[in-house]
Structures are given as structure tokens and as C-alpha cells.
Amino acid sequence: MGDVVIPAVLVAGGLLLAVSARLNGSAEPYILLVSSGNSHVELTQELIDALGLPVHAIMTAGPGSDDEAVYRLATLTVGGLTVPQVSVYTLRSYRSHGLGEVSRYGVDGVLGMNWFRPYFRRITLNMAKPALDLDIDPIYESMFR
């Protein structure tokens, strides 16, 4: 299988890539920004509620910080590639790791690195196509057939 090219769209005046995703096998596609700066997938609280995602864990950053709910998707599919058991955080309406005000892009969330790791050896944000170019690690190729 090796290299996979996933069609994307440019947003934010051509500065960011967004892809279509299916969450828990949804019939309706959702639009997620691709962000190598986000360690986790983040979805709007409205979408988390609409999908009925239960709280999987509570994270605490340390003394004086707010607790943060962690949700879990059974599957997250992008470009026909389905990754199971993906942890999801609530998209911060104000800012998301250097992306600025994410809600202004009209997306449902952010596709963070926990969807990519450890399955892909190389991730290329191809702004010219626009597309997301992925090189699947041979260890995981059978998972995506």
C-alpha cells in the first residue's frame, strides 16, 4: 500500500489544509483542519455532544489548572483510512495551538497527531495539490487493507 494521497481543501486564504472525516462510521462527513502542531484530535463541544461521546478520562495538567475531559471515538476515518480508538479533546473556541481562532475557518475540529502516530512514517501537507500525502509504516499496512 505504502503511499496514500488524501484530497484536501485549502482554508484560511490557502494557509491551512482541511480534510473530510467520518467519525464513528458517520454517514455525514465532517471537516477537520490538519495540524501537525496539535498532539490530539479536537472536536467542537457541539459535535462531541451530537455524537454522544462519553467521557473516557479526565486529565489534569497540574495544581491550579482546570480538569479536561477526554473523549474516545471508536473510529476516525480520513481518505478511506480508519484508525480505531482515537482520543478526542474539546476544541478550544478561542485558540488551538498556534492556529488562532479556529471557529472562523468553519470546521468541525482539528486532526491532531494522535490520528497519525504510529501508523504513518511520513506525513506531507501538500499545499500545491492540495492533499495530505501519507506513507504508511509497513508494520501497519494490513490494518488499512
**Between 98 and 39, the higher pLDDT residue:** 39
Three-state secondary-structure class, residue 39: coil
CA atoms lying within 13 Å on the CB side of residue 88? 31
Instruction: Tell me, yes or no, if the pTM score tops 0.75.
Output: yes
Strand partners, 109: 32, 43
Taking 70 as the threshold, does the pLDDT of residue 95 lie above it? no
The cell 495551538 sits on which residue? 97
Q: What is the pLDDT of residues 59-76, one digit of tens each?
A: 877 777 777 889 999 999
Instruction: Return d(Cα 52, Cα 112) in angstroms, integer.
Output: 21
The Cα 145–Cα 22 span in angstroms is 17
Q: What integer pLDDT is reported at residue 2 of this predicted model? A: 61
Domains along the chain with CATH numbers: 3-144 (2.40.70.10)
Classify strands 55-60 and 67-78 as parallel, antiparallel or unpaired.
antiparallel
Q: What is the pLDDT of residue 116?
A: 92
Q: What percent of the chain has pLDDT over 70?
A: 90
